Amino acid sequence: MSPQKILFSPVTRLSGLLSVELSLDNGIITEADVSSTMFRGFEYIMRNRHITDAVYLTQRICGICSTAHGAVASYLLDQLYDNDISENAQILRNIMFGADFLQNHIRHFYFFGLPDFVIMPNQPPFLNQNCSDCRLDDIDNRRLAGHYIDAIKAAEKSHQILALFGGKAPHQHSFVHGGVAVAPTADKINQALALIHDIRNFVQLYMMPDTELISRCYEDYFHIGETPGRFLSFGLFRFGNKNNQVLWKPGILNGCRLDQPQLDFIQEDISRAWFERSESTEQGEVRPAPRKPGAYSWTKAVLYRGQHYEGGPLARMTINGFYNGGTSTMDRIVARSLETLYITELVEEWLHELEPGEPPINQKKELVQDQALSVTDAMRGPLLHSTRLQGEQIERYDIITPTSWNFSPKDDYGNRGPAETALVGTEISAPEFKFVIPGRIIRSFDPCISCATHLFDHRTNTIDKILY
Amino acid sequence: MEKNEFLQLCRDNSLAGNHKLSARILPVVREYLLDHSTDKLPVIWLETSDSGDNNIAFMNATYPYLNHVFTNMIDLIYSNTFMAAQGSDALLLLEDTVNHFRGRFTLVVEGAVPTKDRGIYNVIARTKNGPITALEAITRLGEAAQHVIAIGTCASFGGASSAAPNVTGSVGVSQVLEREVINVSGCPVNPDWFVGTLAHLLMYGKPELDEYNRPKLFYGFTVHHHCQRRSYFDKKDFAKQLGDIECMFSQGCSGPRTGSDCPYRQWINHVSWPVKVNTPCIGCTNPDFPDGSAPFFSPLPQKSKAEKDDNHKQPPMTEGEV
């Protein structure tokens, strides 16, 4: 077979717009260009606004993980105003954040991932499914396809918990700087407990066995879509009156070496992204350049000590010692389901720890610093917000999203990002698998391209040194 | 295809054991479905420049739940988020739908349309013949559709995607089409507003629209008009901070100039809404959201756009209320 190109566009069942170009030689993927094809320029949008708007406006970056942006912006504001966060507020924030994780993971597994492995009823929106390698027997297949409907309710209930305390979803309102505006009353706690009970049942009785069955039937995917084992997490679920304790620890894992992440090792690389440095401004500001030759994505490459790193549930589970597997497509899927189960248990535990009472919020009014940086993990990987202010107006607001790590295009040296690395070397054993196999690999990262539609410019970033 | 022909096709391929059967039959079945699903609304859903929040909101629909909407109300043939097909197989469905249902399908657009540099900031798919921009796709599909629904504030009016300085020249769908667009705004949309609009189209035809082309049924009165805290406002009993139970006007509430039924409809199985959790309405259904609501936590008279009053998109405050 002579070398051939496969244009995989659009990659469906994800948030945002993604195209992938694959080179195939003798049935093996020899090159992959992963291209995000939308740009919104959110960091330009953030400029010259009042800093407190960040907590609501940055949520509009991403509809499926909006609470992650709201959370990290709240932590950022807590620093800028030197807020003290009460214990009830810490717990409530984590309940809301956890509930949004559950919504994301359940929807990713059933709505986006399931049609990769299960034959769905041949009606809209499942027409032309082309699942040419679906291996479940009839009974199992029918059962799992039916769970799509159960997942609709379980995910909706996760957002009910978020809305009970956050007012609405996506883009919750009450998790703001200084704490949480809602009163955790007995009725709300009780209602949320009933909801988490149902969600936990769903995860235990459906999602975990379904994951197990799929991982057994598609065991070869424990060796397909592997990455080099470089994992990054900024940690997850913050406690402490200054957001200083992290429940799931941060880490940068390279092979067996686990370190604390340090911001000054993070660099961006725009060589293959549609951006250029403007010579006209003193700081060499990065500007969109949609016609730049050789570029193929709106996502920039983000590097740590010159290397690409992967984030997400597998990175978190591995760094924290909750999962001890490989780095493959199926490892990513299994780790995500495992994380879902852990979070249902945490949310239930936190609900029991809540003290009914007044809204746990205390916003200080005076800024104590004019720049800040905060991090968390979002559902799909590490998330960073940093800002520099002029008074209370935003001068710069920089964001590095998980997609910038996982869906990095190649850097200046031609090194591939994690998703590209996972694709290259994969065998496409028959023509009818040309979308099936790459689709499974790509979706295991839980891509969210809305996330990546931004700018980050490390050269003008004024915050440096160690994160922790 | 006749029944006998179909059975012969099945017999010929049943022993091959290499998935050729489904490969042959799927297009036949697809054609059958495309021809026979006229009782529901055939829908093409395009995601353009937004955060994907409106399809997440759509997944939060209750009574009818998402599966009921799929089974009883719409045939969601093309949707980047939900469709099983991928790559060129997905684009094929898009073409099929336009060919089979010209003038009969509903186009749902989620997101703003970048217009700068001929729309290159949003490419819905790449093909061998080049990229298909959102601008191009919407222009083409918009002409062929029976109804066009803009879901969310980005698609309706530009929204956050077109917020200043709008480097991509993003606009709402109605600004690139010379035809009627039903705007179902919100950041995100409340699923009731969207599913309710579909229900109206199915059961009673086009709903009555307001001056911004939104169904009056949902957007006809302001948040302020409906608000449970209206009595506090009337007594000038204002919250001192977020978390208080009094009127949120002092905390930046845009309710007096925001058309929507949030206060009594509420969100996610109708459990809550922003003012109920002691925070201000930020006017996310408005044509000038987010710029016209900024700064979010400053009272209306102090908001940046409200002062200038130079934006033609800006809705006025409800007469006699403030």
The answer to whether the CB of A159 falls within 8 A of the CB of B269 is no
pLDDT at A460: 41
- Say whether B243 and A181 touch across the interface (CB within 8 A): yes
Interface probe with A: pick from B279, B284, B289, B302, most Cβ of A within 10 Å: B279
Lowest mean pLDDT among A433-442, B199-208, B306-315: B306-315
Could A169 and B60 be called an inter-chain contact, meaning their C-beta atoms sit closer than 8 Å?
Answer: yes
What is the pTM for the complete model shown? 0.93
Q: How many other C-beta atoms are found inside a 10 Å radius of the C-beta of residue A219?
A: 10
Residue A255 has pLDDT above 80, yes or no: yes
**CB-CB under 8 Å, B160 with A45:** yes
Instruction: Assess B213–A contact: CB distance below 8 Å, yes or no.
Output: no
> What is the tens place of the pLDDT at every residue in A332-362?
999 999 999 999 999 999 999 999 999 999 9
- Residue B315: the pLDDT is 58
Concatenated DSSP letters of B177-242: -SS--EEE--SS--HHHHHHHHHHHHHHSSPPB-TTS-BHHHHSSBHHHH-TTHHHHHTT-B-SST
> Contact at 8 Å (CB) between B112 and B162?
yes
Confidence of residue A465 (pLDDT cuts 50, 70, 90): very low
Average pLDDT over residues B24-37: 59
Identify any residues that bridge with A238 across adjacent strands, giving them in sequence order.
A246
Per-residue DSSP letters for A316-367?
A: HHHHTTS----SSHHHHHHHHHHHHHHHHHHHHHHHHHPPP-S--B----S-
The token pair at A346 is 């945490």
Peptide bond into A125 cis (omega under 30): yes
Nearest-by-Cβ selection for A40 from B161, B188, B241: B161
Cβ within 8 Å, pair B85-A12: yes
Q: In the prediction, which pLDDT does A222 show?
A: 98
- Residue A1, pLDDT > 70, answer no
d(CA B23, CA A422): 28
Q: Let me know the angle formed at the C-alpha of A296 by A291 and A299, rounded to the nearest 5 degrees.
A: 105
Q: What is the pLDDT at residue B317? A: 58
pLDDT > 90? residue A58: yes
Q: B210-225: per-residue pLDDT in tens?
A: 999 999 999 999 999 9
Is the confidence metric ipTM above 0.90 for this complex? yes
In order, the DSSP letters of A101-138 are HHHHHHHIIIIIIGGGTSPPPSSTTSTT---TT----H
pLDDT classification of A130: cutoffs 50, 70, 90: confident
How large is the average pLDDT for residues A146-170?
98
* Residue A158 pLDDT class (50, 70, 90 cuts): very high
Q: How many CB atoms lie within 10 A of CB B67?
A: 15
Helix (H) / strand (E) element for B288: namely: none
Residue type for position A294 = G
- The pLDDT tens digits for B3-20 are 677 667 666 665 555 555
Percent of chain B scored above 70 by pLDDT? Answer: 84
- 3-class DSSP state for residue A211? helix
Q: State which amino acid sits at residue A458.
A: H
Average pLDDT estimate for A276-297: 83
Whole-number Å distance between alpha carbons of B96 and A14: 22
The per-residue pLDDT for range A398-408, each reduced to its tens digit, is 999 999 999 99
What is the pLDDT, as a whole number, of residue A131? 85
Question: Greatest CA separation found in chain B?
Answer: 80
Q: What is the pLDDT of residue B39?
A: 79
CB contact under 8 A, B269 and A156: yes
Q: Which residues of A touch B81 (CB under 8 A)?
A: 12-15, 111
Assess whether pLDDT exceeds 70 at residue B276: yes
Locus of tokens 């009056």: B216
Question: In this predicted structure, what is the pLDDT of residue A464?
Answer: 39
CB A213 within 8 A of CB A227: no
Range in A263-277, B141-155, B228-242 the model is least confident about: A263-277
- 3-class DSSP string for B17-80: CCCHHHHHHHHHHHHHHHHHCCCCEEEEEEECECCCHHHHHHHCCCCCCHHHHHHHHEEEEEEC
C-alpha–C-alpha distance, residues A416 and A125, integer Å: 33
| Residue in chain B nearest A365 by alpha carbon | B241
Cβ <8 Å between A7 and B33: no
Interface test with B, best of A40, A177, A297 (most B CBs within 10 A): A40
Distance CA B245, CA B232 (A): 9
Q: Flag the least confident range among A416-420, A458-462, B87-91, B177-181.
A: A458-462
Chain A nearest C-alpha distance from B26 (Å): 7
Model pLDDT, residue A279: 72
Mean pLDDT for all residues in chain B: 90
* pLDDT given at position A8: 98
**B55 Cβ under 8 Å from any chain A Cβ:** yes
Decide if pLDDT at A454 tops 70. Answer: no
Confidence of residue A278 (pLDDT cuts 50, 70, 90): confident
**Mean pLDDT along residues A195-216:** 98
pLDDT of res. A466:
36
Per-residue pLDDT, B307: 45
Q: Per residue in B278-311, pLDDT tens?
A: 999 999 999 999 999 999 999 999 997 644 444 4
Cross-chain Cβ contact A122/B122 below 8 Å: no
Instruction: Judge whether residue A467 has pLDDT over 50.
Output: no
Among the partner residues A60, A129, A133, nearest to B85 by beta-carbon distance: A129
d(CA B114, nearest CA chain A) in Å? 9
Residue B140 has pLDDT above 50, yes or no: yes
pLDDT value at residue B313: 53
